[in-house]
Chains A and B, each alone.
Chain A
Amino acid sequence: MTRYFARRVLTSVGVALGVLVFTFSMLHLAPGDPVIAMLGRQAATPERIEALRGELGLDRPLPVQFADYFGGVLRGELGTSIQTRRPVADAIAEQLPSTLQLMLAAMLVAVVIGGVVGVVSATRAGSRLDRSLTVGSLAAVSVPSFWLALLLILVFAVWLGWLPAAASSGEVRGLVLPALALGIGEGAILARLIRANLVEQLTGPHIDAARARGLRERRVVGVYALRNAMLPVVTIIGLQFGYLLAGSVVIETIFARQGLGRLAVQAVSAQDFPLAQGIVLVMALTYVAINTLTDLTYVWLDPRVRL
């Protein structure tokens, strides 16, 4: 177990380093200039650009800038935002809770939808209900989340007036629509996966054996079949957190929520290097942490797996 964790931490460091090098070069090699983004095209003059670039240290050679930045990260400093001149860590700490909240809520939506639809479909495989659920899941997977978000706003906020369209962070009611918009598509994927695995499990000899012993159908499905069927699903759920992180970029903008995704968009469009790098780093570490948790869940679900 200790060895497993040591390996995991080492891998995370490697991932973080790779992410740092990659985002640093991507951002700095991309066309554009944070200084012109700051000044605006009209007010920019070569003199002002030079002065500001010098002040921000952007006139130094790239390797020097990277070494400087990397040294800071090792000391736990993420630097200062070019645009707002605030510490990057503060800006991220302010936005991270909202994104985590959204991801967890969306995952809850996805798991509930996926679980219910998947089990219902599998236990009635081939029925009309199963077929319509299949069509519904396919539709839900195909619908882009931003479009679903607009649709949800139109129906539940503008027409019905049940939920806010752009709630302030901290308002629980305001979490419902963003979580649905982000979670429904992932839920549909889970539903397809659970259905397929469960159908396969339900035809296995251990199920026949369980039924032959007179166990109740609920126990047969819920324990004997579902637990086995969930093994690959858990891996997928871990991976889906990555999609949710990516999806939060759009969803946070549409619902005007606080969050890292929206901050990332702003940082990249303003070419605010330190901020963008900090966000990507935190996102990558979050992702690694979640996948570590996923692997631990695997151990719990499947006693054959040892760490």
Chain B
Amino acid sequence: MRRRCTRTALALLFCLTLLAAACGSDDPAPDDDEDTTQDAEDPGDAADPGPVDDDDADDLQDGVDALATAGGTLTVGLSSEPISLDPGDGLFIAEHQVLMHVFDTLVRLTPDGSLVPGLATEWSANDEGTAFDFTLRDDVTFHDGTPFDAEAVIAQFDRLAATTDGAGVAPGVLAGYESATAEGNTLEVTFSESKPELLRDLTRAWMGIPSPTAMADAAEPSREPVGTGPFVLEEWAAQDRMVLRRNDDYAWGAPELGHDGPPLVDELVIRFLPDSSSRMAAFETGEADVIEEPQFLQVAGLVEAGRAELASFQAPGMPTHMMLNTENPPTDDPVVREAMILAVDTAELVETAFAGLQSPANNVLSPTTFGFSPQAAATYAPDPAAATALLEEAGWIDEDGDGVREKDGQRLTIEYPASPDWEGAYMELLTAYLTAAGFEVNLTQMDDAGIFEVANAGEHHLVSMAWISGSPSVLPIVYHSDNIEQGSAFTRFRDAELDELFDQAAVTVDDGQRSALYAQAQIIIMDNALAVPLYTLDRVLLLQPELTGFAFDAEGYAWLPGVAVGG
């Protein structure tokens, strides 16, 4: 008996080996992918906040509400784990994703970009944008029973303003903070500088308001978040999961995202699944109801087979683009930079590297960002032949026939420090496009710290950049010449007009005027060929087909209180 078992086991092992090898070779077949990803990319599927058709949505929502008592557990698989759940420390996607479900913000942003009430019901600003009045809700309690009031906001703002270290985003939002004072349910916050982006910045989860009593008592504020949000953190087992319980009292959000009142599920479990193949496996076995960052090549197959719904959201902010060094020859020559932009076929790049699940970019802001300039986006259209012609015309000719162009004895060589963590999917492809146009690309793989060192010293020719943000105010951080020596302005481009536009925008309160200033800045950036846009950061999630009520918030984070689990 034992003999037969061992033999069978051996046979099985060999069969599996063969099978796995056979399956493996199926996936990357280019023919399959092209057809199927067309469907997957269909904007009707992708941009819809819920995976259901509009016509049926109401009926379904009724049915879902009836099921609300059924509750159940919603399991979400994230690719990374929050480092801290103290909103003031928040920086990463995983942190935003969790913080937004535990905390509420004063103001919220709708997917179409308008501001709606959160913990504040009304607000106003003075003409200079230096003083803000908020009227706060008086019916909100924190998870620990502490009533929410103006003092809670003041305590948090004072705390953030006093934070001088750390990596969090929130302290920077309050730069120039002078004071906050309360009078009953109204709160006045004043700044020493103009804050045109403040209200929009306040909608991000790092600006959530924690319970002041919990903050005072917490031994480890980063692991004991107490907010007013739809879910209450119950357990956090590092490298394993978080368990969040429904906040039954939740009655202050978020109708603009399709669901108000307490969450439909009883329990939200967030699993940390760093390995993409096991994340996919956990989805396929049903252990996870929702996963982020699926393996792109497998998505189309699952969606076609009806085993997954795709939800995708084009994130606002700066798309992935290559910043070109304008001081280091040969990219100091605008013609060379323009040729680099033309040489990269972005549509083909997203198809090859991301199975079409990211979108080609053509500007330094993505179309979903406030202030996006369509005019700047229309400056170039990928055209490898035109790139070649441009270089030839400018005297860059491959005379010795080694495939690399030269001019006046100088070779068309560029230094590309790349991080395999972030750029692994496309760096070789990008190199191939440039090589085809007659560039010699020295691709050097290093970690973030190494890239920062090289780029800060100006030894690079191109370096990648991307930044998710609802506001265009991230642009000056990497394009204002003030930040060349003191930051991340890796193009090293000095232009008084561009700097002036950024300075103006920073103090312009009127949305229309500010938007026009940022639009002008994008036009200058693209006209001077400072960047090779590659692709917008589209957030891609897979949902189990029986799931209903899924929504993206304005920045593409998954909003889960409206989700009901089927079965």
A residues sitting closer than 8 Å to B (CB atoms) are 31-33, 36-47, 51-52, 55, 83-86, 91, 94-95, 116-117, 120, 129, 132-133, 135-136, 139-140, 150-151, 153-155, 157-158, 161, 164-169, 252-259, 262-263, 266, 271
> Measured between C-beta atoms, what is the minimum distance from A255 to chain B in Å?
6
Which of B278, B477, B487 has the most C-beta atoms of chain A within 10 angstroms of its own C-beta? B278
A85–B218 alpha-carbon span in the complex (Å): 14
Q: Which single residue of chain B is at the shortest CB-CB distance from A139?
A: B13
Inter-subunit contact A86/B274 (CB<8 Å): no
Say which residue of A41, A45, A157 sits within 8 Å of B451 (CB atoms): A41
Report Cα–Cα, A260/B277, bound state, in Å: 21
| Alpha-carbon distance between A257 and B282 when the two chains are bound, in angstroms | 13
Is residue B393 within 8 Å, beta carbon to beta carbon, of the partner chain? no
Contact status A165-B282, CB under 8 Å: yes
Contact B275 A84, beta carbon cutoff 8 Å: no
On whether the beta carbons of A42 and B285 are closer than 8 Å, the reply is no
A-B contact pairs, 5 of them (CB 8 A): A31-B449, A55-B165, A94-B237, A262-B239, A263-B239
CB distance from A65 to the nearest CB of B (A): 18
Residue B115 at the A interface, CB < 8 A?
A: no
Interface centre among A46, A85, A120, A133 (most CB of B within 10 A): A85
Q: In the complex, which residue of chain A has the Cβ closest to the Cβ of B273?
A: A256
B164 touches A166 (CB 8 A): no
B87 to chain A, nearest CB (A): 15
CB distance from A179 to the nearest CB of B (A): 16
- How many B residues touch A, CB cutoff 8 Å? 62
Judging by beta carbons under 8 Å apart, are A40 and B91 in contact? yes
Q: CB distance A168 to B240 under 8 Å? A: yes
Q: Is the CB of A169 within 8 A of B452?
A: no
Which of A41, A42, A84, A255 contacts B84, CB < 8 Å? A84
Minimum CB–CB distance for B98 against chain A, Å: 14
For B159, list chain A residues within 8 Å (CB): none
Is A254 a contact partner of B278 (Cβ separation < 8 A)? yes
Are A153 and B281 also in contact (CB < 8 A) when A52-B167, A136-B13 are?
Answer: yes
Report the Cα distance A135→B165, complex, angstroms: 60
Contact of B223 among A86, A95, A157, A161 (CB under 8 A): A86
- B281 pairs with A166, CB closer than 8 A: yes
Whether the Cβ atoms of A158 and B274 lie closer than 8 Å is no
B477 x A42 contact (CB < 8 A):
yes
The smallest C-beta distance from B481 to any residue of chain A, in angstroms, reads: 14
Query: Which chain A residue lies CB-closest to B269?
Result: A168
Q: Which residues of A contact B6 (CB under 8 A)?
A: 116-117, 120, 129, 133, 136
B466: A residues at CB distance < 8 A = 42
* Residues in B neighbouring A39, C-beta threshold 8 A: 91, 167
Is the beta-carbon distance between B272 and A256 smaller than 8 angstroms?
A: yes
CB distance from B107 to the nearest CB of A (A): 23
Q: Which of B20, B84, B239 contacts A95 (CB 8 A)?
A: B239
B9, B446, B452: which has the most chain A beta carbons within 10 Å? B452
Which secondary structure dominates chain B's binding surface?
mixed
B137-176 interface bits toward A, Cβ cutoff 8 Å, 1 = contact, 0 = none = 0000000000000000000000000001111010000000
Question: A155 contacts which chain B residues (CB < 8 A)?
Answer: 16
Pick from A36, A254, A263: contact of B277, CB below 8 A.
Answer: A254
Pair B488/A41 contact, Cβ less than 8 Å: yes
Name B475-490 residues within 8 Å CB distance of A.
477-478, 483, 485-488
Besides A43-B477, A117-B6, 15 new A-B residue pairs in contact (Cβ under 8 A), listed by A number: A42-B467, A42-B488, A44-B452, A46-B487, A52-B165, A85-B222, A116-B2, A129-B6, A164-B287, A165-B281, A252-B239, A253-B275, A256-B278, A256-B282, A266-B239
Contact A256 B274 (CB under 8 A): yes
Contacts of A132 in B (CB 8 A): 7, 10
Secondary structure call for the A interface: helix
Contact A166 B20 (CB under 8 A): no
Distance in angstroms from A43 CB to nearest chain B CB is 7
Closest 6 A/B residue pairs (Cβ): A165-B281, A33-B449, A36-B449, A166-B282, A45-B487, A32-B449
Question: Would you give the shortest CB distance from A161 to chain B, in whole angstroms?
Answer: 6
Q: CB-CB < 8 A to B238: which residues of A?
A: 91, 94-95, 258, 263
Please determine whether B278 and A129 come into contact, CB atoms closer than 8 angstroms.
no
CA distance A117 to B287 in the complex (A): 35
- Please name all residues of chain B whose beta carbon is closer than 8 Å to the beta carbon of A133 when the two chains form the complex: 6, 10
- Whether A86 and B220, one on each chain, are in contact in the complex, defined by CB atoms closer than 8 angstroms, is yes
CA distance in complex: A294, B446 (Å): 42
- Is B465 interfacial (CB-CB < 8 Å)? yes
Least distance between B170 CB and chain A CB atoms (Å) = 13
Is there a chain A Cβ closer than 8 Å to B497's Cβ?
no
Nearest Cβ in chain B — how far from A137, in angstroms? 10
- How many whole Å from A31's CB to the nearest CB in chain B? 6
- Residues in A whose Cβ lies below 8 Å from that of B285: 157-158, 161, 164-165
Whether B16 lies near A168 (C-beta < 8 A) is no
B234 at the interface (CB under 8 A from A): no
CB-based contact A256/B2 at 8 Å: no
Residue numbers in A under 8 Å from B20 (CB-CB): 150-151, 154
> Given the complex of chains A and B, what is the CA–CA distance between A161 and B284 in angstroms?
10
- Given A40-B448, A41-B452, A52-B167; A47-B239 close (CB under 8 Å): no
B488 touches A44 (CB 8 A): yes
Q: What residues of chain B lie closer than 8 Å to A41, measured between beta carbons?
A: 419, 448, 451-452, 488
**Nearest residue, chain A, Cβ from B86:** A85
Assembled-state Cα–Cα distance A256/B78 (Å)? 11
Rounded to whole angstroms, the CA-CA distance of A138 and B483 in the bound complex is 59
Which residue on chain B has the smallest CB distance to residue A184? B13
B394 within 8 Å of A (CB atoms): no
- B contact residues around A157 at 8 Å (CB): 281, 285
- In angstroms, Cα B187 to Cα A254, docked, is 49
Q: Does B403 contact A (CB under 8 A)?
A: no
Contact A166 B165 (CB under 8 A): no
Shortest C-beta distance, A138 to chain B (Å), equals 11
Q: Complex: how many Å from CA A159 to CA B485?
A: 56
A256-B275 contact given A94-B237, A166-B281, CB 8 Å threshold: yes
Which of A31, A52, A158, A255 contacts B450, CB < 8 Å?
A: A31
Q: Which B residues are in CB contact (< 8 Å) with A266?
A: 239
Instruction: State the CA gap A224–B281 with chains docked (Å).
Output: 48
Q: Once bound together, how far apart are the Cα atoms of A41 and B422, in whole Å?
A: 11
B220 touches A136 (CB 8 A): no
**Closest A residue by C-beta to B81:** A266
Q: Are A38 and B10 within 8 A (Cβ)?
A: no
